[in-house]
Every structure is written in structure tokens, then in C-alpha cells.
Structure 1
Amino acid sequence: MENNIEILAPAGGYDTFVSAINNGADAVYIGGKSFSARKNAVNFSDKEIINAVKYAHLRGAKVYITLNTLLKDSEIKDASEFVKFCDSAGVDALIIQDLSVLAMIKNMNVNLVPHASTQMTVMNTEGVKICEKMGYTRVVLARELSFDDIKNISEKTNCELEVFVHGALCVCCSGQCLLSSVIGARSGNRGDCAQPCRLWYNLIDYDGKKVFKTPKYLISLKDLCLVDEVGKFKEIGVKSFKIEGRMKSKEYVSLASNAYHTAKINGSVSSETVAELENIFSRSGFTKAYFNSKIGRGMLNFDKNNDEVYKNIDENVLKKASEMAKNEGVKRKIEIYARVLKDEKILVKFSDDFGNGIFYERDIVPQTASNAPLTYEKLYDAFAKLGGTAFSLEKFSCDLDENLFVSAKDLNSVRREGVRLLEDKILNTQNRKTVKNFEYHTENKEIEKCGFTASVRTSEQLETVMREDVFEKIFVPYELYKKYEKNFKNDNRIVCVPYDTFGDKMPDLSGIERISATNISQLGICREKEIFAEASLNITNSVALDMYKNLGVSCAHLSNELTIGEIKNMKKCIDTEITVYGKIAVMLTKACVVKNGIGKCGCKSEKFLYIEDRLGKKFPVITNKLNCTNTIFNSAPIVMSDRLNEVKNIGVRYLRLEFTDEGKDLVKSIISLYKSGGKCGFEFTRGHYYRGV
């Protein structure tokens, strides 16, 4: 099999990084002390990043830094300084989520290349194309794609594709999970996920009854393992195979790196290797997840918690993995030539197979030997001592006069200096550009007024909202638009494109003048329309907002994770919107809670099921019909009816009332509440407007 593909391993600390390289990883992704989506990993100091790059590059491997969290305006300067540091350290690429970091890479003239993180939720051909157009050299595809989806994308795009092949699976599409954020202010988009998906929940059916006598792990997926599918991915042109696990042990990383390296070389691994991978870390066994489109309860740890993940690791497997972690790995083969002649300074040449070479003349003149003169064997032994370096001696030659003597100390000194010079040559082969400081200027559009909008989920809500004259815009799901298409007025109604445009299953948007984009891919296919951006695009700073303006967005719903102060201080180059009422979406999942729970599809119903947590909080679940996925909403609505004077003075153009599972009477009373500016009498939340993440 061809071996130009990349095995990409994780490392949460330096020792794990070394183990990954030495066990066959072609590249390793790591995080710095800030702006990384694994805040609770050990992560790397600046000095460790420098050492990691040197260690990897000397061994022909690459280093990618994960700068894949959302940034606030107050963090832009520090983030740009970190980008500058990564460039100076020789990092190969940045894995990024926030478009402000892409702006930094393009603006600062750095040598780094941008990789689009899976946090960007790129799930189809159009998404890859728009990333490529923006300047990304690689896209990390959403985990929810099947093999056929990925094959189709590969055939229609030129960008490098990276896919997850091993490790933990989030039940929610990456970048779309706010569950940890709304429950405990620990945001996955900020690298601090508390993993509430691993807890048990009750399932409440359409009639309000519990489906199971005991709670189930309804949204806890098993771990992914596609080690026996590497050959198929290679055939369709996937560039990089990614192993999850920056929070995992070096034993786990060593074993996984070695297994996938073996699969890369041989096309397969033994059943024993798969069993070892499962034993070192898995949640109740492995799953192939979405690879073969067989989505069902078998993907889940449905009846079990995850305690056994940390128990019962076979002693022999752990011992083997521990030994692997000590591997020195494959070394770079070099050739050394030494010229040791009478009355001349010693001259050496060190070279590798990649065209890197140095000549070095040392100010040492051999003496006449009184006894035990230098021989070829003695010279060879002196220069072959390359332990602790990235090199191994492949070939040695010399020109040596007879009856000469050079001390062992001097020969060792010549060898060490030759190694140092060759290392410098290898590490400095790239012509680096002159880096600039980050300067990015955005406009701040003045708004004339602040008005209300509404979004609806059901026919009943739409009919109720349409009778009101308070709303400047009404956001309507695509399914409802199709139902009311003949009577649909384009004056103030905007069609929300479904979240779940996986693969290339896109809705027919012909004849629609205004759309609200829920995914970056939709910006490419809707260029001729007026585009509103939903909160799912995760806009948290002025630079990202301006980048979306350049992509054709005329109005953007800002991230639901911003505070009032952060919104007020943001420069707004286009109209913006925030939610002042509603149960915000906290998950988009392709693993259908409805079908996995009650055994049948809920696509034909506008009704909601609920998952209930250990505190008795009920989270509404609705089925999205385009691709049979679920959206899970927060248990309590944001309410800001008594704070309208405050939110009308933070520079946003629209205040949205977002209706989910409310009946028509409750919709009417909520509208009245916002007209009067009164206080509500039911359980609610202020969201992140006063606490942030």
C-alpha cells in the first residue's frame, strides 16, 4: 500500500508526544496553555512547544497546534501573539475554529497553514469548498459522515481531508454542543466540556410518560475504532487519519499510534491488536459509528455507565503499552565521512537521505601516534555513538593517514558538533517570511432602532406569531416553509436552512429570497440570497463577524455564550441579533434519541420528547426531518423581558423570541410579557448574559 498518508496522534503532554512520534505517528496535534479545546489536559508550555517541534522535525514528523476555541474580542491580541510564537517555533499548522484566527494567519504573513477544525462542523462538499476558498489547506470533517459521504466529498474537492478514526465520540456535532455550557458554564467551545453526555437520563415520551423503568445512558456513545478500514479511506484520497485522546495516557497513545502505523504499512492489523486497543481504553467496546450508515442503539453505552473504562485493564496489555511508550522509534539514517590526514585539520561531512548535508572543519590537527594509532574501526566507533539523537549511522567512510592519534575527547567533540550542525541544517531548510503584527480594522455600524424577531418550530406557533404586528422578521423552519409554501410571503419571513445538511443532502431553496444559515456550507450555495447567520455559526468577536460579512452575511445572530458586556463592546459591521426569550439549542445529534429510545422514527411529528436529568430538568428533543437527526434544547428558557431597556442599548439590531415547545396560549402570553416589559412567573435562566464562559 502507498504510505503517503498521515497518522495523526494526540498528545496532552511532552512525554506522550515523544511516545507518539516513536510509535509511528507522522504528525502530532498538541495544545498550548491557552486557546485549546482541551483546557484540562496538561498541555504544552512555550519551551515544550519549541522542543516538540525540534524533536518531530528531526524525525520527519509534523506538529499541529490546536487553537480551536472561540475567541472573545479581549483575547484577540493575546491569540495573535500566540500565533506569532507558533510561527517562530516552526509549528507546521494551526487547527482552528474561529475565523478570527484565519484572519490572523492571512494578515500576519506567517508560514503557518490553517486546518479547519471539526469544531467548524464541516459536513458536506459545499462546506469543504468554502473552506478551501477561504484559504484552509485541510478540513477536519465532521465525525457524523459515512464512508460514502466522505468519498463523495473527496471526489468533488481538492482540499486535504482529515477524518477521525479512533477514540471518544461526542454525541453532538462538534462545535454545536452547549449542554455543558448551559448546565454548568463549562463550554466545549472554550475547551472546558464537563461531558454531561456521559450521564444517565430518563426518556419522556409524547404522552409525558417515562419510557424506561430505570434511567439510560441515552446520549453516551461508545468509542470509535476504524483501524480495519484504513485501506478503504486511503483508496478515496483521505490524507490524515486522526486519533482522539489529548486527555489520554501515553500508553494509550503509544498503542494506538503503533496500531494505525501498522495498518498504514500492512493494510490491516491482527484481531489481537484490536482487542488490545479495546482493553487499553474503550467505553463498553468499540463502534464504527457512522462509517457504514448503520446508526442505532448499538452505538451507545445504553445500559452502562463509564466506570469500567478506568478498571480491568489487562496487566499484560498495560505492560506492552508501557514498553511501547519507551520506544526510541525509527531514526533518521545518515552518512558520515571523516578526513583525518597528517598536518591537516580534521574535516567531516554529515548528510541524510533528504539532501541535507554539512561540511565541518575542526581546528584539531592529528598528532603522531606513540602507540595505538587511529584505525578505521576506532573512527567508526567514535562517530557511531549517536544514542540520544535523532540519527543512526547508515554508512561511514574516511580518508585516514597511518600512524596518527586524536584523543577520544576530541573525536566526541567533533561528532557532537557535526550532529548539532546537521540538526540546524534540517531545522532551518524553510525560508521563513517576515511576520507582521496583527492589525485588523472593522466598521461599527450605527443602528437606528432595535426591534423584535421571532422563530417558531410548529404550525401552531407560526399561525399565532403571524397574527402579531410586533415582529419585524419571522424565522421559519424549512419543513414549515414547505408546508405553507403556497401562502408564504417573503416580506418578513426568513427560511431557516436545516442544521443537518450531512453529505450532500441539501434542501431545495429555489424561490426563497431570504435564508438563515445554520452551517458554513450554506453560505456557498446561497450567494444570490439575503443571508442571515444563526447562532450555530458561533460568532463571538468583531473580526469573525467581519469575516462572515465578507462571506455574504447581512445579519448575524451572535453566539449564545456571550455576556451583555462582551456584546456591547463588540464592533458590529453588520446588523446583529441575540435571543431574549427561548430554550436555546444545546445539541445537534445524528444518533437519534427518539428512535434509539422508543424504537420508531419521530420525523412525521411536530411534538417533542424530553430527556430528564438527575435533577429533574427536562430537555426538549425534536426530530429534524431532512436527515433524521435531533436537536436538543435547554430545559429552561432565557427570559429578558424585564431587562429590555438594558439589551436595547448594547448595539444589536434585533431581539429574538425563540419558540420551541410552547403551545399557542403560552406563545401569546410571552409576547404580551415582552410588549409590557414585565417579569415572568415561571422557571427561567438569564443564559450567559451575566456569567459568561
Structure 2
Amino acid sequence: MPRHLHLPELLSPAGNWECARAAVANGADAIFFGLPRFNARMRADNFTAEDLPELMRFLHSHGVKGYCAFNVLIFTSELADAETQLRELEAAGVDAVIIQDLGLARMVKELAPGLRLHASTQMTITSPEGLERANTLGIDQAVLARELSLRELERFQANDKPEVPLEVFVHGALCVAYSGQCLTSESLGRRSANRGECAQACRMPYEMIVDGELRDLGDKRYLLSPQDLAAVQEIPRLIELGIRSFKIEGRLKTPEYVAAVTRVYRKAIDAALADKDLSEIITEEDRYELEMTFSRGLYSGWMHGVNHQELVGAYYGKKRGYYVGVVRSVARDAVELEEIPDHLKNGDGVVFENLQDTNNEQGGRIYGQQGNWIEFQHGRLRTDLIAPGTRIFKTGDQALDQRLRQTFQGDIPLRKKQPLDLIISGKAGEPLIIQVKGQAVNVASSIMLEQALQRPLTLETLQNQLGRLGGTPFELGTLELHLEGNVILPVSELNRMRRSLVSADLKFIGSAPIQRPASSRTVTQMLAEVGSQVPTKSEAADAAPTLHILCRDQQQIEAALETGVTHLYVDFEDVRQYADAVKYVKENSSSSIYLATPRIQKSGEAGIFKLISRAEPHGVLIRNLGAIAFFRDAGIPITGDFSLNVANPLTADFLKQTGLERLTISYDLNIDQVLTLLEGAPPSWFEITLHQHMPMFHMEHCAFAAFLSEGTDFTNCGRPCEKHKVRLRDRVGMEHPLKADVGCRNTLFNAVPQTGAQYFNGLMQTGLRHYRVELLEQTKEESTRIIRTYQSLLASQRGGEDIWRDLKAQSQLGVTRGTMAEAI
């Protein structure tokens, strides 16, 4: 197989036209943007379908690519509109779409093959195994999870397996939860992050309740708000690892932010490619610009592994800016600093830190300076609320903003060179042939290739000689080598061929949209193929419903068996107890027991899969893409959990073909959307959760270690998760249970359980027969009561409305009607 050489791509965000211009002017190789529908940043200005032709002409004329973020789950009723948008993107010459939904990914390949398919970070690709599963969709680039370290990225072997270029985030806001796995906004506010409506609950203050008592954490209130990612110093190593695309977060940010961050990372990438020392290239002024344009504190994220003491500062959840210094004394309308930094000037905005209430802080623009005193306009600042020792941060720099705006105002010069993607072939006794991929241009050597006794032509040699394109409108792109044996050619001849190549009739990227053949296939045809497998309602009417109970401890298992439950899921924090649980169930009942995998699987964690397999369960509840092949190939029955995000028949059909016997319907769907899904695919494929505490945040960040220990990770934290029962209290007083899993990842569960019991009869009429109840912290007695309640529902002995009211009356926390009742 030919080996590819990928030059790194700098990918910048564009929430509007100004941001797109800022990205292009400051060195982006590509931008990503969204349309008003179907993107994960609905609050951005976004572009319209009418903007697309002009946008793509602008980008392509500057040698820049445009990727459209199409990175949300797609409901069944929306598939036709999604098809229309895909065709509009393809017709406008958009280069790629960034996709979360597996069914939509299938549509891209079948309906709009001219678009490149990029797997979004919302797909939660965290391991080579997960990437391999996603790649069966034919993806052209994969955006990996932000939570991967350099060491974990190395295991993807991007240099040795370049078939799927890899993309990673290098700068911007960090979600505390895994992308595609955060249900917090939906659970608390009916605004789904998987639908582009994240309410940023991670940026809100929380209190920690430990064993029933409020834990004093001092001024730390923002327990789930990470610092912002800044991986500029990691650029050289990421290039070494073969990472193809470096992504900057920020479609909700200003054009000044886009300009500054793009400029700094362009500088870093170019320096790294030239083997220059970044510590000398990236200056304090560069760091100042990164801090000033937006920062909650800059940190390397997970690049160097987990550090629970540093990732989340916990003092604030909003922009902080550049640190100025400390107050020495105060006077009316003026403040004395211990030292005045050189960059501080009149007109700059500053804020005086108030950790007791970060939403009520003093601040304003500097009106004048005398010595170490900074003065403010009369009456604009209450200095009586500012104490000596208060820290000051700079939040605004008008001169910097003006300088950054100047970079993208007016005409933007053509900066970008056309990449030349070359195919090189030949063997001893024949000429070397260099062909330009996608163009009818090739150059043959005037000297025959000879067998090399030493120093044969290598990828590095060809890259070095053919890459010397300075002074031309071109730059070296990818190289495909098809050389037979070890051959040699004089360097002088390679140089001649390079000169001949650039003087040939090469076509530069034009301003017109690229014309691509349209597909005659439609989403209606795709849905009909899935729908043809749906049995008639009369065929499924006689089957009895099955109740599946998910247990999280031994007492709950005992309660399930004593109430006659025949289908159990077991999800223990300590998977070493799985073997004993399986043995207990098999010795005390004829019930089946399925063991749950973790939500996240990283390279090197396959030992957990082996442990589950050795426990010899009847089946496995699959929660990540990377687990499917392992258990399927082991011959163990597998059911897909909610975390696989099944929202439409096309996604369901794809996952069923992987070997999953059933699929849990996504928690993003309301009852109408569930019913529509069940009309479009066989109900026997599905299972629905009727009762649960919604798993809201699922995160690499461990709040146990961060705030109940001084440890940086599981090796030195002392495992407080095993010693304490912890809840996080939100602003309205709800205390949400916090749990750790086998990988030390935390899940914050909604304090209030939800039920879909009132929709049971309607679901039964569709032919759906598999229903789940998930227990969390219930005692054996409480578990028994809940199980018997739902057994009576399935036996038609009680109605759903009656159950809802009954559980609400008997439960200390109460029961909501659940997210199924609300449209997202």
C-alpha cells in the first residue's frame, strides 16, 4: 500500500463572515462553520444556504477549504431536510461535512459522495478500535476526543496507518464531559447538547456534599469548569505523531479571537515544520494575545495525561483575561498596584477579582495613570468594595483589538499556495514518473532508474527535493510512492523534474464551485430498505413485554431475583466483582445477566473487556464503539446502550449490522420522535429506558480526586470515591449523585428520577417489547418497590399515570415525567 505524507492542516472556527475573513487572513488552511440547522453551535451567527456559493468562492480563491459542521443527532422526521442540506452543501463546493450521527454519515456516502466525511468529536472516538468501527462508514478524517493524551494519540499510529487522517483540538474551551455523552442540558433544561443547544451547566457553581455534610472548599465553587486548552507547545510532537489537522475551538468567539489564535498557531506550525525551537518562536506577546482574546486560564488539557489538581481551577467559569497584579491600596476612583506592567495603558478594561461572587465584580476602563496608581472615571468604580490584596485581570485591550481587526479588513492578499499531491512510480531500467493527482500532468525523468547499492530513493529524500517550491504558487502536498525495489536517481535530475513540473500547465484552485456529479439515490429509498423489515403490528401483538433491570450493587441484584426478574444488566464501579455477580445469578436463578462496559474505552484498556469476557455473562451491554468487535468476535450476545446515540432508522440499521441484538433508544428523543423511529425500523431491534436517574455529565475529570485529595490521578489520589458518598448541589438546591467508574471517570446523575410509564401503552402498540428500569442508589427494599411497580405496569395491572403519581408520592426526591415528554 502506498504511504502518504500529510502536511498538517490548521483548522479555524468561523461563526460568521468576519470570523471567516479573520481565519483566512491569519493563516488558516481550512475553516469550519455551521448553517442555521443541524449544527452543535446553534447560538452562533452561522451562515445561510444562500451564503454558501460566495463563501466557498472566497475560501477557494485563497486556497482555503471549508468544512460544514453537521454535528448533531438527526431525528427520523428530519432526514429529508438533512438530505436537502447535504445536496446544497455539495452543489456549493463545500469540501467536507463534520458528522456526529452514524445514519447521517451513511447518507453522505450514498447521497452526496462529492463531500468528504469527517467524523465529529461528538462520535466519541477514543481508541483505535473505536476508529476502526467508525471507519466502516468510509470516513475521510476523524476528530478524536479531547481527552486523549499524547501517549494515547501515539497508539493510533497515524504515521504507520495514514488511511484516516486524524484531527485533534489544540486550542479553546474544553467541555468537562465527553462530547456526544453529555446529557446535562437536556436533563436539567430540555436543551440537548447533542442538538446544538448546550446550556453550559458545567460553567455554573456547585457545592460538594460529602457523606451528607457540606464540604468547605473555600473559594472553589466552579467544580466542573475546566481551564481552556492551549496546546501550542505540543505542536511539534503532534506533527511527529502524524496528526493531520489542528483544530481551534470557537464558533461562538469574536473575529479578534479567531485572528489572534489562528496567527499564533500558524506561526507555531510553520516553525515546527522548519525544526525551529518553539520556546524561542512563541513569544510572551503571543501568549498575551491568547489570554486577552479569551481565556479562563490556559492549560495543556489532557495532552500530558490526567492531572485532577490542575485541569479545573474551580474559581470561575467565565473569561478571566490576562493577569495584571495585586492591589496595594485604594482611594476614591483610583487603585494603587504593587507594580504596573508595561502593557497596561489608558482605555484598557480591568476586573477586580471577587471569588465570593464572580458575577458581581468591580471593573472598568482605565482613565489615567500616575506612578503605580490607575485612575477610573468618576463614580464608575466602587473602590470601597475592593480590598488590598485583590487580584486584577485585564479583560480588554482596545489597541490589540484594533491591530487584530486590521489583519482582516479590506482586501486579503492571496497567501495560500496550491498543494501539489504527487504520485511517484518507477522501477530499475525505466524512467521515474511524477504525476500530479487529479490533473493530466506528469513528468518523466530523462535518466533511467538504477538499482541502488546504497542511499535509495526514500520518502524523505523525495520530500526534501520536490518540496523546494519557494518562489512558486505551489507547495508540496501528499506523496504516493509506487517504487519497485530500491532504486536511485541523481539529485540533479530530481531538481530538473521539479522545475519542469511547476512550469507545466497546472491548474490553480479557482473561484468557481467545484462541479461534482449528483447521486440519484435518495433518503426515501434508504428508509424504505430499512422499513421493509418492519413486521405488521398483528405479527408482534402477541409477544409479551420483557422487563430489564439494571443493578449497581449486590442488594439490587438480590431484589431483582427475588421479584422474579428474568433479565438483568449489571453495572458495577468495581468490575472485579463482575465474576461473583455472574456466579451468584447463575447459581440462584435461571435469569440472564448482561455486564455493562464502561462508557469510554481507550487504547490499553482492553483488559477490562477481557475481564468481562472471563466472567462468562450471558451477554454484554455495549456502551462504546470500540467494544463491539471484541465481544461479537468472542461470540457473546451484545446489546447497544443509549450512549451509541440511536436517533433514526439509518443509525439503527448500521449498528444492527455490526452484530448488536438490540439497541437502546437515545435519551434525546421525545415520545413523538420515539414513535416515529419505531415506525421506520423493526421495534424488535429496540429497547427503551422507562425509569432512571439521567446520567448527565460523563467526564474524565474526577471531582473526588480534585477536591477530596491532593492526588493528580488514580495512582496517588487515595481513592476517595471508595470511601465517601458525594453529591454536587446546584444553584436550585438539587443534590446530584456523583459516581466513579472502573476508569476513574465520573458520572453525575440527576437527583430526580424520571419515568416514561405514562407512554407504555402507546409504545406497546408499536410492537416494542423490551423495557428497562435503571436503579442507582436504592436500597434492597426501595429496589423491590420500584421493580414491582413496573412489573404491574407490564402486566397491565396498573396505568402509567397512576404509577407516575404513586412514585412521586412515595419517593423522597419525586419523579418527573421525563425528557420523553418534551420536544428537544
Regarding TM over 0.5, the answer is yes
Counterpart of 1:373? none
Counterpart of 2:643? 536
Equivalent in 96, 99, 108 of residue 96 of structure 1: 99
CA contact (8 A) 1:575 1:653 kept: no
Counterpart of 1:81? 84
Question: Does the C-alpha gap of structure 1 residues 290 and 329 become closer, same or farther in structure 2, counting only changes over 3 Å?
Answer: farther
Q: How does 1:276-675 map to 2 (within 5 A)?
A: 276-283=289-296, 285-306=297-318, 308=320, 312-326=395-409, 328-331=412-415, 427=512, 432-438=517-523, 439-440=525-526, 441-442=529-530, 443-445=533-535, 447=540, 448-477=543-572, 478-487=575-584, 489=586, 492-506=592-606, 507=608, 508=610, 509-511=612-614, 512=616, 513-528=618-633, 529-570=636-677, 571-573=680-682, 574-599=684-709, 600-602=717-719, 605=722, 608-625=725-742, 627-641=743-757, 644-675=760-791
Question: Does the C-alpha gap of structure 1 residues 80 and 620 become closer, same or farther in structure 2, counting only changes over 3 Å?
Answer: same
Gaps of 5+ in 1: 335-353, 358-391, 395-421
CA contact (8 A) 2:43 2:197 kept: yes
Q: Distance in 1 between matches of 2:313 and 2:571?
A: 35
CA contact (8 A) 1:31 1:38 kept: yes
TM-score scaled by length of structure 2: 0.70
Question: Does the C-alpha gap of structure 1 residues 475 and 458 become closer, same or farther in structure 2, counting only changes over 3 Å?
Answer: closer
1:135 aligns with 2:225: no
CA contact (8 A) 1:255 1:324 kept: no
1:236 aligns with 2:241: yes
Counterpart of 1:71? 74
Equivalent in 237, 252, 270 of residue 283 of structure 2: 270
Q: Distance in 2 between matches of 1:142 and 1:586?
A: 18
Q: What secondary structure is seen at the aligned counterpart in 2 of 1:611?
A: strand
TM-score scaled by length of structure 1: 0.83
Q: What secondary structure is seen at the aligned counterpart in 2 of 1:221?
A: coil
Q: Which whole-Å deviations, capped at 9, do the CAs of 1:454-480 have from their partners, x for residues lacking one?
A: 111122222222222134343444454
Q: Distance in 2 between matches of 1:124 and 1:501?
A: 6
CA contact (8 A) 2:90 2:516 kept: no
Counterpart of 1:14? 17
Greater shift, 269-278 or 119-128, is seen at 269-278
CA contact (8 A) 1:160 1:239 kept: yes
Q: Distance in 1 between matches of 2:141 and 2:509?
A: 29
| Root-mean-square deviation over aligned CA pairs | 2.8
Letter in structure 2 aligned against 1:317:
L
Q: Which whole-Å deviations, capped at 9, do the CAs of 1:161-220 have from their partners, x for residues lacking one?
A: 100000000000000111111111111100011101100001111344434366610100
Q: What secondary structure is seen at the aligned counterpart in 2 of 1:631?
A: strand
Counterpart of 2:486? none
Q: What secondary structure is seen at the aligned counterpart in 2 of 1:308?
A: coil
Q: Shift of residue 317 of structure 1?
A: 2.6
Q: Distance in 2 between matches of 1:306 and 1:105?
A: 37
Letter in structure 2 aligned against 1:634:
N
Q: Distance in 2 between matches of 1:118 and 1:135?
A: 16
Counterpart of 2:446? none
Q: Distance in 1 between matches of 2:640 and 2:602?
A: 18
Q: Which whole-Å deviations, capped at 9, do the CAs of 1:518-561 have from their partners, x for residues lacking one?
A: 11111232223211011111111111111111121110110112
Q: Shift of residue 393 of structure 1?
A: 11
CA contact (8 A) 1:568 1:651 kept: no
Q: Distance in 2 between matches of 1:266 and 1:502?
A: 31
Q: Distance in 2 between matches of 1:263 and 1:168?
A: 19
Q: What secondary structure is seen at the aligned counterpart in 2 of 1:452?
A: strand
Greater shift, 474-483 or 425-434, is seen at 425-434
Q: Distance in 2 between matches of 1:518 and 1:393?
A: 51
Q: Distance in 2 between matches of 1:204 and 1:212?
A: 11
Q: Distance in 2 between matches of 1:290 and 1:686?
A: 38
Letter in structure 2 aligned against 1:452:
L
Q: What secondary structure is seen at the aligned counterpart in 2 of 1:499?
A: coil
Q: What secondary structure is seen at the aligned counterpart in 2 of 1:9?
A: strand
Letter in structure 1 aligned against 2:786:
I
Q: Distance in 1 between matches of 2:116 and 2:600?
A: 29
Q: Shift of residue 58 of structure 1?
A: 1.7
Q: Which whole-Å deviations, capped at 9, do the CAs of 1:335-381 have from their partners, x for residues lacking one?
A: xxxxxxxxxxxxxxxxxxx9899xxxxxxxxxxxxxxxxxxxxxxxx
CA contact (8 A) 2:86 2:112 kept: no
Greater shift, 169-178 or 200-209, is seen at 200-209
1:112 aligns with 2:115: yes
Greater shift, 602-611 or 211-220, is seen at 602-611
Q: Distance in 1 between matches of 2:112 and 2:214?
A: 59
Q: How does 1:206-221 map to 2 (within 5 A)?
A: 206-212=211-217, 216-221=221-226
Q: Which whole-Å deviations, capped at 9, do the CAs of 1:51-84 have from their partners, x for residues lacking one?
A: 1111111222111111111011110000011111
Greater shift, 507-516 or 164-173, is seen at 507-516
Q: Distance in 2 between matches of 1:298 and 1:333?
A: 40
Q: Distance in 2 between matches of 1:201 and 1:689?
A: 27
4+ residue runs over 6 A deviation: 354-357
Q: Distance in 2 between matches of 1:460 and 1:317?
A: 62
CA contact (8 A) 1:225 1:288 kept: yes
CA contact (8 A) 1:223 1:282 kept: yes
CA contact (8 A) 1:71 1:541 kept: yes
Q: What secondary structure is seen at the aligned counterpart in 1 of 2:226?
A: coil
Question: Does the C-alpha gap of structure 1 residues 332 and 620 become closer, same or farther in structure 2, counting only changes over 3 Å?
Answer: closer
Counterpart of 1:24? 27
Question: Does the C-alpha gap of structure 1 residues 639 and 214 become closer, same or farther in structure 2, counting only changes over 3 Å?
Answer: farther
1:201 aligns with 2:286: no
1:146 aligns with 2:179: no
Greater shift, 589-598 or 487-496, is seen at 487-496
Q: What secondary structure is seen at the aligned counterpart in 1 of 2:142?
A: strand
Question: Does the C-alpha gap of structure 1 residues 423 and 123 become closer, same or farther in structure 2, counting only changes over 3 Å?
Answer: closer
Letter in structure 2 aligned against 1:444:
V
Q: Shift of residue 641 of structure 1?
A: 4.4
Question: Does the C-alpha gap of structure 1 residues 560 and 333 become closer, same or farther in structure 2, counting only changes over 3 Å?
Answer: closer
Question: Does the C-alpha gap of structure 1 residues 187 and 462 become closer, same or farther in structure 2, counting only changes over 3 Å?
Answer: same
Question: Does the C-alpha gap of structure 1 residues 333 and 423 become closer, same or farther in structure 2, counting only changes over 3 Å?
Answer: closer
